[in-house]
Chain A
Amino acid sequence: MRRLGLLVIAVAIFAGHSAGQSITVAAAADLNFALSELAQEFQAASGTKVTLSFGASGNLFSQIQAGAPFDIFFSADEEYPRKLAASGALDAASVRTYAVGHLVLWVPTAAPFNPKQLKMDSLMQSSVTRIALANPQHAPYGRAALAALEHYGLKDIVSGKLVFGESVSQAAQFVHSGNAQAGLIALSLARSPAMVSAGKYWEVPQEAYPELRQAVGIVSRSTNKKAAQAFLDFVLSVEAAATLQKYGLTPPVQP
């Protein structure tokens, strides 16, 4: 029985290995559709298996700091990769800004108003009782949404209506499912087929919130840096830029 116990523990500990060229990517929630498409193209072209794990940038940041087994980290801001590079968790030399994200005000098709006309005043409509945004504590898009509310002087007026998703994609889900009547979400999600067919949006002007410059870096502990670098190079390539652009992720102007 004792031997059986040891065997069970040994099986438990050593199970769960898989072989083959593959990388695990931690990616900001706003990349849910764009990066899935790019990963598929890369996989077909290179044969490297790309496993994607999406989440709020801040959560992925803490996970990587705690030693999560990722190879690359695509953040929705520049701050998290910079901090990780400073602490040695990311290869500082690999950190690049790959895209600029944009914020939109999204409402379901059934909304009795057009957000393109009402713009930010959409949020003041009586039919809007819940406004979804990402949690500003760990999601860059949540911070951008709060900044935009502040810019238009709406923060205190609508504060009772705000509901926070764990990530920007959960905020999108809240409003897509109709449980919130308006959402401040990523343009990259609003351009996804599921969102396009279910609603309409207005792009919040850039001056209303700090630019969402998004950076990427290779995880220092990665055991597959070559494949990770290859994927990173692919995402930074001209052809990938077209896919990113399709989802409203514009190329960054290098400072």
Chain B
Amino acid sequence: MILQALALTLRLAVVVALILIVIALPLGYWLAMSRSRWKFLVESVVALPIVLPPTVLGFYVLTAIGPLSPIGRWYHVLTGGSLAFTFRGLVIGSVLYSLPFAVQPIAAAFSSVDRTLLQASATLGASSWRSFWKIILPLGIPGVFTGLVLSFAHTLGEFGVVLMIGGNIPGATQTASILIYDQVQALNYAVANQTAFLLLVSCFVLLAVLFGLRRHTKWSLWEWQ
């Protein structure tokens, strides 16, 4: 029961962190480089999940993927299933919920790349695509790493959104934090305790490894702030 929930949590966090990197690289690049006057609006949207209560996000996601919405209907026609209360639904909710934790460090790292390097590479005839892979990404890799780890860790500890769109189904949507909640309600304090302790230890190990790494490299978990 505990291992199942922990494995599910890990799988969710890994999947979400990987998807977020794919989304956050172009989005972070755009936020760092764009001179659009509407950039502040995109920045505000990206940062929203930090301040929004998980219930707001959970409610909207639930409505958006439910059988009455266009997305839900379209998905049902396509696959015959539904997104709500499934692992895939959790992935969607978690990607939205952890979005700023991936995008912000990456955008910050990209925008701190010395512009004269980019100008030099442009005058030497490199495309902006090539400059991205050869200059911006290598120099911004600490930020990418931070974004990856933060979105992973943030998804590990997620509760409110998962509770609202997951439905507490063991093996499908019952993450470790939901299992703890469920077992406390079932007066099964022993299981709740073990799960909580395992989660505590794994989060501590994760952070200890990160901060330990920082001692040997230049980058830190917090430098983007």
Cross-chain contact of B186 among A18, A165, A169 (Cβ < 8 A): A169
A29 touches B85 (CB 8 A): no
User: A24 at the A/B interface (Cβ < 8 Å)?
Assistant: yes
Inter-chain contact total with CB atoms closer than 8 Å:
93
Given contact pairs A169-B186, A192-B187, A52 touches B87 in the complex (Cβ within 8 A): no
Q: Which of A13, A15, A54, A66 has the most CB of B within 10 A?
A: A66
Per the bound structure, the CA–CA distance linking A5 and B19 in Å amounts to: 7
Cross-chain contact of B22 among A9, A51, A55, A63 (Cβ < 8 A): A9
Given contact pairs A8-B18, A11-B15, A12-B88, A66 touches B66 in the complex (Cβ within 8 A): yes
B residues less than 8 Å from A70 (CB atoms)? 169
**Interfacial residues of chain B within 150-167, with CB under 8 A of chain A in the complex:** 167
Please, how many residues of chain B have a CB less than 8 angstroms from a CB on the other chain? 32
B residues less than 8 Å from A4 (CB atoms)? 22
User: B121 at the A/B interface (Cβ < 8 Å)?
Assistant: no
Per the bound structure, the CA–CA distance linking A192 and B171 in Å amounts to: 25
B185 touches A170 (CB 8 A): yes
A69 touches B172 (CB 8 A): yes
A66 touches B85 (CB 8 A): yes
**Contact flags (1/0) for A51-79 with B, using CB distance below 8 Å?**
11111000000010011111000000000
Q: How large is the interface on A (under 10, 10 to 19, 20 to 34, 35 or more residues)?
A: 35 or more
B residues less than 8 Å from A51 (CB atoms)? 169-172
Given contact pairs A9-B22, A11-B15, A12-B15, A54 touches B186 in the complex (Cβ within 8 A): yes
Seed contacts A66-B67, A70-B169; 5 additional CB < 8 Å A-B pairs: A13-B91, A16-B87, A53-B169, A66-B66, A67-B67
24 pairs from A and B in contact (CB 8 Å cutoff): A8-B19, A11-B15, A12-B16, A15-B15, A16-B88, A18-B171, A32-B185, A51-B169, A54-B168, A63-B85, A63-B167, A66-B62, A66-B66, A66-B82, A66-B85, A67-B66, A68-B84, A68-B167, A69-B85, A165-B185, A167-B185, A169-B186, A172-B187, A173-B187
